[in-house]
Amino acid sequence: MGFYHYAQSYREAANLLTNADKTSRKATHPEAPIRFLYYHAIELYLKAFLRTHDYTPRELATRKFGHDTLRLSKKVAKLGIHFDDKDVQVLAEGWSGGYSNCHDQVPAG
């Protein structure tokens, strides 16, 4: 349940930022952290689903899956979750639309 609970936390953080007073935002790209948080939540939800199908955390951390929401969604789809064309477009944009580049720039904790 670790992936799922982390996903919930990232989604809730994104919701809080989305609903925050926009006039108090001083960042030049205030949508960037929100997008990052939502896409990371999606990634973690997909991994949580795969964990219920016997994928190990180590396996999900490999280059085979990594942070690639499109690749993860394709594996999830093979296990029975349906994604429509709009879903697939959003999942693909997460990987190619800046999420991965943004993730690479996050300082190590």
pLDDT in tens, 11-68: 999 999 999 887 777 888 888 889 999 999 999 999 999 999 999 999 999 988 888 8
| Residues 50, 34: Cα–Cα separation, whole Å | 25
CA distances from 57 to 42, 65, 73, 108 (A): 16, 11, 16, 20
* HSE-up (13 A, CA, CB side) for residue 74: 7
pLDDT in tens, 73-102: 999 999 999 999 999 888 888 755 555 444
Look at the pTM and tell me if it is higher than 0.85.
no
Higher pLDDT, 105 or 23: 23
Q: Which two tokens stand for residue 35?
A: 């997008």
